Structure 1
Amino acid sequence: MSNTTPLLTPTRKVIAGMQFLFVAFGATVLVPLLVGLDPSTALFSAGVGTLIFHLVTKGKVPIFLGSSFAFIAPIVSATKIYGLQGALFGLLGVGFVYFAMSALIRAFGTKFISRLFPPVVIGPIIMLIGLSLAPAAVNMAKTNWLLALIALATAIVVTLYAKGMVKLIPIFLGILVGYVADLLLAGVGLSDGVDFKPIADAAWFALPQIHWPESFSWEPILFMIPVAIAPVIEHIGDVYVVNNVVGKNFVKDPGLHRTMLGDGLACVFAALVGGPPVTTYSEVTGAMSLTKITAPVVFRIAAVTGIVFSLIGKVSALLRSIDQAILGGIMLLLFGTIAGAGISSMLHSKVNLASSRNVVIISVTLTTGIGGAALSWGSFSLAGIGLSAVIAVILNLVLPEREEDRIETPEPEHNKVD
């Protein structure tokens, strides 16, 4: 398959770039809305981060970076412990993990990653990302179950029955229909409606809310480092998927170490300006596969378009006016889907679930994560997904693996968690 599309004029490139941003828009702005960050900052950091990624990868890899769902629960937990500034500073640790992996991949290739992070480790960690957020989804949805169910039903219908590009934007359409329903139900007293005053008062041009780190502290950085395990592994899987869609080997040229480095630098930039960590988006890859548009310049156009939208103050005000119940309804589906992706990852990789060793790793990982286990040393605390990730890696390394524990399969393409 060619890297560019015939007859892709400059005008069509711009339209395609805006289309790809549209696909990623719902998920990119949902993450900051859930963790208390400015959605415009998330759009800004996603756009700049994508451009950084393309610079590092020599402009060869058609990828768009958007907000990562893997860090919703860790950001919420870290904010309670260290405050918002501390949580954002801790996100710098995510970049450090990407940098370390980039260096190791360049030196040793990818085989050591399969040893440290096989599917039996990654699967339950992905499941935890979704399951740990279930209480938050229910608490937000129950503020108005009718709005939540309308948004949820819309997302489900789009996911199951929509065709083409529409199928790729269930989050966006669920929020949109929920928003319209909020306006209509307010007329009959079934919702609080939308307060348009903040939207009217917002300036048309406004810089995103930038939160610069105020002081150095190792504790939040160490808190976030273990959480980055799953997104790092997913990054590798996503690059292989893009390889298949485009028909080129980006693992060799420009190199997996470069894609990893580019993603890491983008995460560092996001942390420095007050946005959530970014990751490669499977929705955009799906749109690329559907449209056959694989020219990297189109994804840079999407990035620039995101930056432009982040500078429109009324866009941020509009996003902040979305009722919490609508977001909760979307989350009921989305976070369950993430948990299901963890199960799918293990099934796709043919993890032997009859193996006592594998069952032990999965069970202890899930129970410590869902049960809220935590370890503390002075002001440092390791809990939640981060602690469970460490436990899973350690168990995989120390528990002896026998032949009956292992089913030989080709290298898996891990499922995506945005």
Structure 2
Amino acid sequence: MERKSLHKKLILGIQHVLAMFGATVLVPALTGLDTSITLFCAGTGTLLFHLITKKKVPVFLGSSFAFMVGIMAVIGNSRIGDPDFLPKLAAVKGGLIVAGLVYAVFALLIKFVGYEKINKLLPPIVTGPIIIVIGLRLSSVAINNAFFLTTETGEQVFSFKAVLVTVVVLATCICISVFAKGIYNLMPILFAIIAGYLVCIPLGLVDITPVRQAEWFSFMDENIMKQLLLMPKFELDAILAIAPIALVTLIEHVGDITTNSAVVGQNFMVDPGVHRTLLGDGLATSWAGLLGGPANTTYSENTGVLAVTKNYDPAVIRVAAWIAVLLGIIGKFGGFVNSIPAPVTGGISIVLYGMISSVGVRILVKSQLNFGNSRNLMIAAIIFVLGIGCDSIPITDTVSISGLALAAFAGIFLALVLPVGKDNILEKEETN
């Protein structure tokens, strides 16, 4: 592989940071977690991933949107500074640590028995609907942020200013995605946030108090240090709300590594092996959970950068990881991200949550499942209703199971016990 100068690696690394940036910082903005900790976890988690995968796989790990539904189920509307925030964050930490260990367990199973056998537990008829449910469960949050403003009394009121900002954000995101070329096509979220923020300034929706209050060095901030040093709590209800999501995201992980292999022209499923990439992703998630950041996941946005630049050097990704760490350390930067108004994040969320569900639809379409088949209809129907209609089911006075986890368990069970008919997959002539 051609050796590149530090200057060239830095320029290429910045492109990867720009590609992952919008989505990575949006997760803490929506869940109430800290932006600086999130960026620090993304950077250090990526470096940990590269260490475990023998520095061979050019992958960047950023914040996972799939885990947002679990995090928000535990943390609710609580935010930094609220009296109940730290106890809820401690429970989130425990849930994310366990979720990362789920990856590790599957990595060991794949190492010893092979991926094909494990994959039977999570067929497309389960993973597709579950991913659709993840996006739709979050859709109401997006609408509330996009069209409503919160008053000083905490009441949410419909606002035409918020609608205007949301329209600008959506229009920018759509236009960049559809019409922009090259590297700019990979940054619709970043451009949409910038456009929305600029529109919010004359409308009086920007509060720069978080920037003023932020320390220049993040780890000098008392609130951030409290979150970093907070011991995790392994509460069963939080674990049941968060950890089962790993059963779906590990399949997404395999898809991302497969795509990355195709772009680069090397079979990373074999060398260093999907068991190593899963282990790296899982330990990075547990590490993020320990520090108080959101779960990490492989970013297809950065695989897109690889395809555009035709540069597949994993060292460039590690440069991007160090840049993310540096951004996480700069406290004023985190304060700026926290000052982004709700209508901006709401407008972005409409797109992103919808895209999550669209990925689920893509899985179903790509697998060519026949929905004239009663087995497929029953599994999908039960997952949809349990996952969307059920918030949580109390098991005891202190323990409950989320609707998403219940839907996942039900889907896996039905897929295992119901017989697969000959018409499970569409015939070729039906797909034409």
TM-score normalised according to structure 2 size: 0.89
Alignment partner of 2:59: what SS?
Answer: coil
Matched, 1:90 2:109: no
Judged with a 3 Å threshold, the aligned counterparts in structure 2 of structure 1 residues 196 and 220 are, in CA distance, closer, same or farther, namely: closer
1:338 aligns with 2:369: no
Corresponding residue of 2:159: none
TM-score after normalising by structure 1: 0.92
Cα deviation, residue 220, structure 1: 2.1
Partner of 1:34: 30
Query: Do residues 202 (structure 1) and 220 (structure 2) align?
Result: no
Contact 1:374 1:383 in 2 (8 A): yes
Note if contact 1:74-1:384 (Cα within 8 Å) is conserved in structure 2: no
Q: CA RMSD in A?
A: 1.7
1:401 pairs with 2:397: no
Partner of 1:48: 44
Please tell me whether the aligned partners of residues 241 and 404 of structure 2 are also in contact (alpha carbons under 8 angstroms). no
1:349 to 342, 355, 367: 367
Secondary structure, in 3 states, of the residue corresponding to 1:363? helix
SS of the counterpart of 1:382?
A: strand
Alpha-carbon displacement from aligned partner over 1:152-194 (angstroms, at most 9, x marks no partner): 11101111111111111111111010011111xx2xxxx3232
Match of 2:127 in 1: 122
SS of corresponding position for 2:423 = helix
Any idea what SS the aligned residue of 2:218 has?
coil
Instruction: Kindly indicate whether residue 408 of structure 2 is the aligned counterpart of residue 385 of structure 1.
Output: no
Paired with 1:194 and 1:215, the residues of 2 have a C-alpha distance of 35
Distance 1:57 1:78, change over 3 A: same
User: What is the rounded CA distance, in whole Å, between the counterparts of 2:119 and 2:420 in structure 1?
Assistant: 14
Is the Cα–Cα contact under 8 Å of residues 214 and 332 in structure 2 kept in the other structure? yes
- What is the percent sequence identity of the aligned residues? 41
State the alpha-carbon separation in 1 of the partners of residues 393 and 266 from structure 2: 45
**Aligned-partner SS, 2:118:** helix
SS of alignment partner, residue 74 of structure 2: helix
Given the alignment, which residue of 145, 164, 186 partners 2:182?
A: 164
Shift of 1:114: 2.7
Query: How far apart are residue 148 of structure 1 and its match?
Result: 1.0
Q: Matched residue pairs, number? A: 399
Structure 1 gaps of 5+ residues are 410-418
Question: Contact 1:357 / 1:399 at 8 angstroms: preserved in 2?
Answer: yes
Residues 262 and 214 (structure 1), Cα distance of their counterparts in 2 relative to 1, 3 Å cut: closer
* 98 and 344 in structure 1: CA distance in 2 versus 1, 3 angstrom threshold: same
Q: Which residue identity is paired with 2:417? A: V
By how many angstroms is 1:13 displaced? 0.7
Distance, in Å, in 2 between the alignment partners of 1:109 and 1:7 is: 35
1:201-350 → structure 2 map (5 Å cutoff): 201-207=213-219, 209=224, 210-211=227-228, 212-350=230-368
Please give the secondary structure, in 2, of the residue aligned with 1:69: coil
TM-fit CA distance, 1:197: 4.0
Displacement of 1:79 in angstroms is 2.0
Give the 4+ runs in structure 1 shifted more than 4 A: none
- 8 Å contact kept, 1:226–1:387: no
Matched, 1:71 2:67: yes
Deviation at 1:385, TM superposition (A): 1.7
Q: What letter is aligned with 1:112?
A: K
**Aligned twin of 2:58:** 62
**Does the aligned pair in 1 maintain the 2:263–2:307 contact within 8 Å?**
yes
Residues 154/401 of structure 1: CA separation in 2 closer, same or farther (3 Å cut): same
Q: 8 Å contact 2:172–2:195 — kept in the other structure?
A: yes
Q: Distance in 2 between matches of 1:314 and 1:331?
A: 24
Structure 2 alignment gaps of length 5 or more:
77-83, 149-161
One-letter identity of the residue aligned with 1:94: A
Given residue 103 of structure 2, which amino acid in structure 1 is its aligned partner? Y
Task: Name which of 142, 166, 180 aligns with 2:147.
Answer: 142
